[in-house]
Amino acid sequence: DAKTTQPNSMESNEEEPVHLPCNHSTISGTDYIHWYRQLPSQGPEYVIHGLTSNVNNRMASLAIAEDRKSSTLILHRATLRDAAVYYCILNAGGTSYGKLTFGQGTILTVHP
Amino acid sequence: NAGVMQNPRHLVRRRGQEARLRCSPMKGHSHVYWYRQLPEEGLKFMVYLQKENIIDESGMPKERFSAEFPKEGPSILRIQQVVRGDSAAYFCASSPSLGTYKNIQYFGAGTRLSVL
């Protein structure tokens, strides 16, 4: 799997937007961009994924650069419950299965 | 719809004993993955199974570890003759068999193994 680079940590205040960046300059044309998060003492949780176009769901938005070499996960209004480690992962998608390769992720701290 | 169920949540074993970790995937999922998270480290892939088949075991330690996903019943991760270095959180994930995008993985809450 292609490698991703994320900041080690970020901080936010409650109810403010949070933009979590991810660089993936070696992404291939068939790689999907996944985001997962892991709350303290819990298993990872799927957040969102995309290929080329920006994506929105109830949890977050994913903004993908036009050249696909970077992406940004956007939490529109951070809550204390959003404090977690956020992982950006590239994975061959579509009809294929396979392992997820987790990096170190970004530790998000949300201040009340 | 129940999520991925792992049991036990916590398991304590003495060195040399066997550890059995169970994982029941979500309903309708026939693809199971095991990951390990050592203390202060990231999640590492161990093995990917479909019913009765091991598809990818590239992350499994060569000795003492085995995994199965029988036709009936949960997936089992078995660790023989545990050592202190096996102390970790073990997570199971499953992905759906049908659908437009199959490789979204849903994780269980994990089993935390402590080896004394």
Question: Tell me: the pLDDT tens digits for B18-53?
Answer: 999 999 999 888 899 999 999 888 899 999 999 889
pLDDT at A95 over 60: no
Please state, rounded to an integer, the average pLDDT across all residues of chain A. 92
- The predicted pLDDT at position B15 comes to 97
- The predicted pLDDT at position A98 comes to 80
Mean pLDDT within A6-15: 96
- The predicted pLDDT at position A97 comes to 72
Is B101 in contact with A94 (Cβ distance < 8 A)?
Answer: yes
Is B101 in contact with A102 (Cβ distance < 8 A)?
Answer: no
Which residues in B lie closer than 8 A to residue A6 (C-beta atoms)? none
Which residues in B lie closer than 8 A to residue A103 (C-beta atoms)? 42
- The predicted pLDDT at position B39 comes to 85
Rg of chain B over Cα atoms, rounded to whole angstroms, equals 14
B28 or B114: which leads in pLDDT: B114
Is B59 in contact with A99 (Cβ distance < 8 A)?
Answer: yes
Residues 6+ positions from A48 with CB-CB distance below 8 Å: A34, A35, A55, A57, A59, A60, A61, A62, A73
Residue A88: pLDDT band (50, 70, 90) is very high
pLDDT at B78 over 60: yes
pLDDT at A99 over 90: no
Measured CA angle at B14 (ends B10, B20), to 5 deg? 50
